[in-house]
Chains A and B, each alone.
Chain A
Amino acid sequence: MIRVQQEDFDVGQEIKSLRGNDTGIGGICTFIGTVRELTSDKAISSMTLEHYPGMTEKALGDIEIEANARWSLSGSLIIHRYGKLEPGDQIVLVVTASPHREAAFEACQFLMDWLKTKAPFWKLEENKSGDHGWVDANSSDDVAANRWNEAKNKG
């Protein structure tokens, strides 16, 4: 399941509804991305996330389908927020549930790596003096995402 929303999310609630009554689940892995105040050497006052409505949902949906094809998951959830956020705010939630922990751990990391390089979001940072700048893509994110292609080719 995927959701793109402005509102905050309650991790406990989300896990509870993902689990439902599925007693076949043996492990749940959760990742929460939050707004970090310090970027390089400067403190930011806010971060605004812009996205491409329509393509975002499509890209996240495709990534989730890929994760479910690679790992045996009992359930998965991606929530990504957009709009203006402040340091400490939650940005993204990925939850994966599986009968065994390995699949949950790996699928969770895979989903995060892929959404960082494929989901059409852009971060605009603003500092206290009112200066703003777009966050540059990080090449280490590409490296992290590419290792899953390598893993697939080897497999």
Chain B
Amino acid sequence: MKLIYFAWVREKTGISEEDINLPSEVSTVSQLVEWLINRGDNYQSAFADLKVIKVAVNQDYVSFDTSIKDGDEVAFFPPVTGG
């Protein structure tokens, strides 16, 4: 699974993108976030307030209870500020 981070989420994780092997117990975005938070302080700091985190699976906005599978592209980012 490909994970991508943007803006301050990228700065806080210190990672632009990474490939992970999805653990079998992870089947939703929420579970993925929980799993990431346990990987280190950088993830804990990036995901400290989920109210300001948006998520896209395969480049479509989704909610945190969405199912994910290996091979998906999952992106985490702050609310958008273009225009």
CB within 8 Å of B: which residues of A?
33, 49-52, 54-55, 58-59, 80, 91-92, 112, 115-124, 134-138, 141
Chain A interface, >50% SS class: mixed
**In the complex, A58→B59 CA distance in Å?**
8
Closest chain A residue, CB of each to CB of B11: A134
- B26 within 8 Å of A by Cβ? no
Task: Report yes or no: A49 in contact with B82, Cβ–Cβ below 8 A.
Answer: yes
Task: Report yes or no: B83 in contact with A122, Cβ–Cβ below 8 A.
Answer: no
Closest chain B residue, CB of each to CB of A58: B59
Q: Which residues of A contact B64 (CB under 8 A)?
A: none
- Contact-residue bracket for chain B: 10 to 19
**Min CB distance, A140 to chain B, in Å?**
12
CB within 8 Å of A: which residues of B?
4, 6-8, 56, 59-61, 75, 77-83
**Min CB distance, A141 to chain B, in Å?**
8
**In the complex, A124→B61 CA distance in Å?**
22
Task: Report yes or no: A123 in contact with B81, Cβ–Cβ below 8 A.
Answer: yes
**Min CB distance, A94 to chain B, in Å?**
9
Q: Sort A-B residue pairs by CB-CB distance and give the 5 closest, nearest first.
A: A121-B82, A137-B79, A122-B7, A116-B83, A55-B59
Most chain A beta carbons < 10 A, residue from B59, B80, B82, B83: B82
Q: Which residues of A contact B79 (CB under 8 A)?
A: 136-137
